[in-house]
A and B are shown apart, each in its own frame.
Chain A
């Protein structure tokens, strides 16, 4: 359970940065991209990109494999799934609850208006 929590926190922490989200979006369009191709669209230097990749790797969001001099980066969906499950689960719970809260409060408001008359 501790691991699950730590993992989830790492995932969300990794997703905080816009460059990292852009890297993931790039991989989503084109999985299995080399690091140099991945770095191209960004106005930052390769070492900076490598640092972002380290964070994403550490969070389990990507995997890197090296063949010769080329490092290939791939998306790893499991942590993203866990993060989404977390959000979705609460969304289900609270969407329905808040709709019912609204209906309940509106009934109470109608009652309050009737008794005031």
Chain B
């Protein structure tokens, strides 16, 4: 790795840190834009929580002071008490939810990746033939349908009418439909990405050289083409995580999965501001980190870019 790459990585890390700071700041000030401030007024707020907040942030102290305190606490992953769920700290609620949601997300991501790369490669190799056109049509459909539509339809068909899987997401089997729903868009996207990337690679001169050397068909694909085709797919890791995070909001709602997505949506409708803030910051930070990792990996892996 040379100095140019290191410089790039450093710049990206700084950008990521700034972004996270912006997220925390925006979240804090936007929340305080709610008339009366986020910590007051709602009748359902537990008095114990209010007392704790008062102690922490001093709700009558100047805004900037509250901000600085909040910032410091946020860095230590302390987001205060939940306003609505009595006795529980925001951080704990988030961690609880993450257990289920992370499982959901990781399985969905892996399935999307594997199936997507396979389908995309098949489509590229059988370009313009029937299977390619079929794959393209299906992926276009999945890329255009919002996740809540797909999820609802799947729910109706498989859980309710056909009763193959449970409709509720609290059991392991109940996670099947949510995982499928969550993975369909990234899978379609990765399929198309792999296809166009591989088509591009197959048209490259070095593939022609390999053929001219006498390398056989399958070896050209797996040995020479695949490695190069996957490089752009790496750039999608970050956006894919972002999608999964936002997608989980909807999917967990539809399938009643006890994850962080559902907690987040409920916190919005329930005006649990500390939870809203904490969840936003954690999820946003996760996405920023993933984007950063994805960018760095791409830089390292692409040998041409490393040198330039």
Q: Do A and B associate with each other?
A: no
Q: A interface vs B, CB < 8 Å?
A: none
Q: B interface vs A, CB < 8 Å?
A: none
